[in-house]
Amino acid sequence: MKSLTTGCDKLDSLLGGGIPVGVITLIYGEASTGKTTLSLGVSIEASRRGFKVIYVDSDSSLTPTRLGWILKGLTREELEELGILFFKPLDFYEQRELIEGLEAYLRGDHRLIVVDSITNLYRAALAEKGAFKLNRELGRQLAYLAELAAKKDLAILCTAQVHSKPMQGIIEPVARRVLTYWSKAILRLRFPEDRKLRELKVEDFPEEKIKGRSILLAFRSDGALCC
């Protein structure tokens, strides 16, 4: 299976080459576990290799200050010169319109689309709409992304927030059933005992032999991934 390098050799080795192309990859975990950092790292590496990237910042987490810390002072404009186009939808339905219109922005050198996070605006909309309708809408967005990944030979990287079920003692992604149905690769980030590190575990993957693998990752004080 074709893949897109993460820019981290040991992570690429764990994943059999990198983020798989042609399918959706889900990265989920608690706050501050490195979901956005990893997504930005993959985006920068793709752009450095001559590919164009679309980054949907549904989490509104990419402040200039944070970008400066993670990306060594690069501004948003400098990133766009590298081939990264940023979008920031304001609500769940604006996210839908954006996702369903993504194909109009694609050229032959596009190889990666990031949605960070696919569930933030969904979660905000739950206060006004019923879960059934929103789950169906989320499924529609993911179905479109999955079709686009296969049709255009793209890597699609979606991040997701989590919620806990104390009675069962588990932590799972928000809208788990919908997300896991459409995501062919599922990666979980969590804090191990040493909170300076992050554990990345492969919960699902197109290649059976890669499922269950895990790795410890380190992040610098500025938030960037050390590899």
Query: Which domains does the chain show, CATH number per domain?
Result: 3-226 (3.40.50.300)
Least confident of 27-41, 49-63, 69-83, 102-116: 69-83
CA distances from 101 to 52, 113, 121, 141, 148 (A): 17, 13, 18, 11, 11
Query: Any idea which residue has 């969904």 for tokens?
Result: 122
pLDDT band of residue 73 (cuts 50, 70, 90) is low
How large is the average pLDDT for residues 207-226?
Answer: 82
Phi, psi at residue 78, to the nearest 5°? -65, -35
The structure's pTM equals 0.90
Question: Mean pLDDT of all residues in the chain?
Answer: 87
Cβ neighbours of residue 101 under 8 Å, at least 6 residues apart? none
